[in-house]
Structure formats: C-alpha cells, structure tokens
Amino acid sequence: MNGHYILSASGEPIPEPDIMKWARWFDNPAARRIAHTELPDGTEVSTVFLGLDHSFGHGPPILFETMIFGGPLDETQDRYTTRQAALHGHAHYVALAEKEATP
C-alpha cells in the first residue's frame, strides 16, 4: 500500500491505490475538512483529513489532524488515527481555546 487514503461516502478512510484518483479527490479542500470552529476572538480550530498516512509505517495510519490558528495556543495541534478520535480532539481543542481566550 502507498499510504494514500480518501474518505468513503460515510466519511471513513479507505486506501486509494490509484494515485491519480487520490490526487483528484485530494484536490477538493472541502472534502477533507472534518470540522471547523471560529471563536468570537477570531481564533480558529480546524480538523482535517490528511489523506496520507503520517505514521509512516510505524503503527496504525495517522490520518486526521486538529490545529488551532490564532490566540495564545496558535499552532497547537494533534493527530489521530480515527475520525471519531479527531472529532473528540476537535471538541477538546475548541474548549481549550475558549478557556484560553476568556479574560
């Protein structure tokens, strides 16, 4: 396997051995966005499907990432192996960013 994945119609990762099919699918940023939250102070929390296995062959595929943009936690990020874990992580980082933004 080449480490390339796309999301199924139900939003679950599936291996994609055809690099051209993967590239066409990957070229749509909206298809890769799992969750996005913008806080009142302008801080954003974004969770995306990476499309490439970021474990690089060391354990289960790491396919999702949550990152904070702006605020005191700017560029804080974490990666996940499952969509469910990524959505949980997104909620965690939204709560964390909200707490940090509170005066």
Residue 103 in this model has a pLDDT that exceeds 70? no
Q: What percent of the chain has pLDDT over 70?
A: 97
- Quick one: pLDDT at residue 1? 52
pTM of the full structure: 0.91
What average pLDDT score do residues 67-85 get? 96
| CB burial string 11-47: b at 16+ within 10 A, e below | eebeebeeeeebeebbeeeeebebbebebeeebbbbb
For the chain, domain boundaries: 32-101
Residue 2 in this model has a pLDDT that exceeds 80? no
Q: How confident is the model at residue 101 (pLDDT cuts 50, 70, 90)?
A: confident
Residue 58 in this model has a pLDDT that exceeds 90? no
For residue 64, what are the CA distances in angstroms to 27, 72, 99, 101?
A: 16, 23, 24, 25
Average pLDDT in the chain: 93
- Give the separation between CA 43 and CA 60, rounded to whole angstroms: 31
The predicted-structure confidence for 24-48, as pLDDT tens digits, reads as follows 999 999 999 999 999 999 999 999 9
